[in-house]
């Protein structure tokens, strides 16, 4: 892995990095598990973030972050299921 799993998960959430099959081939199985745990943790933290009702920009930013994390989770789970076959 290029960096720690928590850093990679945060970069995914912030939109600086995206997961695809070419990126995931570089990871070992234990690194994929660690990345999944960190993505789950960052997702929980993002969901727990409280946004004021009248701040639509913050609400949109939170939703974009959750969407990026959700997409990363789907790609990662799909790749892991392919690898286990």
Mean pLDDT estimate for the chain:
93
Q: For residue range 14-35, what is the model confidence (pLDDT) as tens digits?
A: 999 999 988 899 899 999 999 9
**Confidence band for 85, pLDDT divided at 50, 70 and 90:** confident
Distance of CA 69 to the CA centre of its chain: 4
Which DSSP category does 4 fall into?
A: -
Q: Say if CB 40 and CB 48 are below 8 A apart.
A: no
Burial of 53 (0-12, 13-18, 19+ CB in 10 A): exposed
Residue 1 has pLDDT above 80, yes or no: no
């Amino acid at each position: 892995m290029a960096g720690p799993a928590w850093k990679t998960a945060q970069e995914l959430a912030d939109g600086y990095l995206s997961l695809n099959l070419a990126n995931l081939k570089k990871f070992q199985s234990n690194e994929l598990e660690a990345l999944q745990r960190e993505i789950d943790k960052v997702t929980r933290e993002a969901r727990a973030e409280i946004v004021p009702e009248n701040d639509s920009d913050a609400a949109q930013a939170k939703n974009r972050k959750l969407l990026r994390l959700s997409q990363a989770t789907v790609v990662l789970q799909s790749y892991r299921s392919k690898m286990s076959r």
